[in-house]
Chain A
Amino acid sequence: AQSVAQPEDQVNVAEGNPLTVKCTYSVSGNPYLFWYVQYPNRGLQFLLKYITGDNLVKGSYGFEAEFNKSQTSFHLKKPSALVSDSALYFCAVRDNNAGNMLTFGGGTRLMVKP
């Protein structure tokens, strides 16, 4: 079965410091990986995706993610966190064995303190 794990329920970081939100996956075949962000009482907003090509993917709002095939990881990163980055972040993988639906991780709450 294909799955996505976000091992940290919450990540705390000081404003201006680099941030990392972790995601590991388990799929058969080539993974299509996505990161989304959710602000309170809002829907999910797409940040970035990895389909193929360069392992370092750049997305919206200064976020980037590194695809690591050997470690089956797709960690979200940002060089300098902002207080406004505080939100809930979801990693998702296309599920090849379920009609190509997306399987979501449980989410990681990012708290950026001034």
Chain B
Amino acid sequence: DGGITQSPKYLFRKEGQNVTLSCEQNLNHDAMYWYRQDPGQGLRLIYYSQIVNDFQKGDIAEGYSVSREKKESFPLTVTSAQKNPTAFYLCASKVAGRDNQPQHFGDGTRLSIL
């Protein structure tokens, strides 16, 4: 089955530590997205990529970094500069340039501070 796989499901970060969240898709989608979800709030866009080797900042990019070296992979690094990283992180993908198509989501990674 095609889909989006996020790992790990749960992640704990120590103070001053960088952690990387994995997102892999086998849907052959060009566009990929990272969102942050906090309780009682909607999704906020962190970074997105429309094509390999290119990515753009979203609304809340500070303290995060990404790479897009392969079409199927879009890892997110939560750096020590992100002072409030505890949240549920969702990765999504869709066909690029087709705004009438929905985004497909992974099952998320829940990040907590130790």
Contact = CB atoms under 8 A, between A and B. Distances in A.
Q: Do A and B come from one complex?
A: yes
A11 to B, nearest CB: 15
Interface string B1-40: 0001010010000000000000000000000010000001
Contact of B48 (A45, A101, A105): A101
Nearest to A99: B56
Interface residues of B, number: 24
Nearest to A42: B107
Contacts of B60: none
A41 B108 CA distance: 7
A44 B42 CA distance: 11
10 contacts: A32-B100, A41-B9, A43-B6, A43-B106, A44-B90, A45-B105, A46-B102, A90-B43, A100-B99, A107-B40
Interface of B: 4, 6, 9, 33, 40-43, 45, 48, 56, 58, 90, 92, 99-100, 102-108, 110
